[in-house]
Amino acid sequence: MEKLIQELQARLGEDGLKLQEPMKEHTTFRVGGPADLFLMPKDAEELKDTIGILRKYNMPVMVIGNGSNLLVRDKGIRGAVIQIYSRMADIAVDGEIIEARGGALLSAVAAKAADAGLTGMEFASGIPGSIGGAVVMNAGAYGGEMKDVLVSVDVLTKDLEVKTIPVGELELGYRHSVVPEAGYIVLGARMKLEKGEEAAIRGRMAELAEQRREKQPLQYPSAGSTFKRPSGYFAGKLVQDAGLKGKTIGGAQVSEKHSGFLINIGGATAQDILDLIAFCQKEVKDQFGVTLETEVKIVGEK
């Protein structure tokens, strides 16, 4: 392990490597045990070299963005976590095209679009994910989704080659893309927007922000909607109709504001949240015969 760490430090520098890093510092749930190695490359070349080094030592690798759709178990993550976030977050505008690197936040991209008088990204202004994560799960809200604006995506393949994938080959659907099954890592994306009136764009963003404040428990740590939308139903309504609004296990609670959100009301462990997820799934299944699947990704050592 010592030799591996030395090689990683030589490639990434002191700022690009942390040991036994608490994952609660890198997830919006604010829970999770330590990652053995936490790596933060600043460009595609560093990323390629980092993965090459890790493979040489047979070290397991997990790639994350800003952890907005992630629940890390309390024992943490064995192996290496590579974060594509603030060190790979540049955004550029060229006419009606916005190009953003994988670590750029959706909110920052939406703000940049508004600055340029471009419409089409308003739906994303309040989503707390990164571009990479948004592509992976075809993030969407309020009638918009990534597939509506994406033109192409730059990825790093399993063979460590940089490749540009047109949107038509990404197989984008509800919370789905081909990215995970193909083993791609999103390096960046190109989005095609339309010219609009800046005042109207900012007005729409403000309107959506107000709707979020009214309906979502934004003051508490969470990972957004905990469950996927079952066909023909709304997950939050099922949880509410099962009588679970406000249900608490440890520091985890079904939000009293929106039953589709499980929140950390203070001092929650990942196990509290996992237990509450399981409880909601069982009650909804028993009462309505509907299986709730988690939208949040659950990772880490059991």
Q: Is 73 among the residues known to form the active site?
A: no
Check 107, 125, 130, 225 and give the catalytic one.
Answer: 225
Longest CA span, the chain = 57
Q: How far apart are CA 1 and CA 57, in angstroms?
A: 8
User: Could you please report the per-residue DSSP string of the chain?
Assistant: -HHHHHHHHHHH-GGGEEEEEEGGGGSTT----EEEEEE--SSHHHHHHHHHHHHHTT--EEEESS-TTEEE-TT-EEEEEEE-SGGG--EEEETTEEEEETT-BHHHHHHHHHHTTEES-GGGTT---BHHHHHHTT-EETTEEGGGTEEEEEEE-TTS-EEEEEGGGS--BTTB-SHHHHT-EEEEEEEE-EE--HHHHHHHHHHHHHHHHHHS-TTS-EEEE-B---TTS-HHHHHHHTT-TT-EETTEEE-SS-TTEEEE-SS--HHHHHHHHHHHHHHHHHHH--PPPBSSEEES--
Cα separation, 154 vs 160, whole angstroms: 12
* Residue closest to 8 by CA, chosen among 34, 35, 39: 39
Of the residues 175, 202, 204, 212, only one is catalytic, namely 175
Catalytic residue among 7, 171, 256, 295: 295
Token reading at 216: 């979502």
177 is catalytic: no
Q: Is 229 a catalytic residue?
A: no
Enzyme catalytic residues: 175, 225, 295
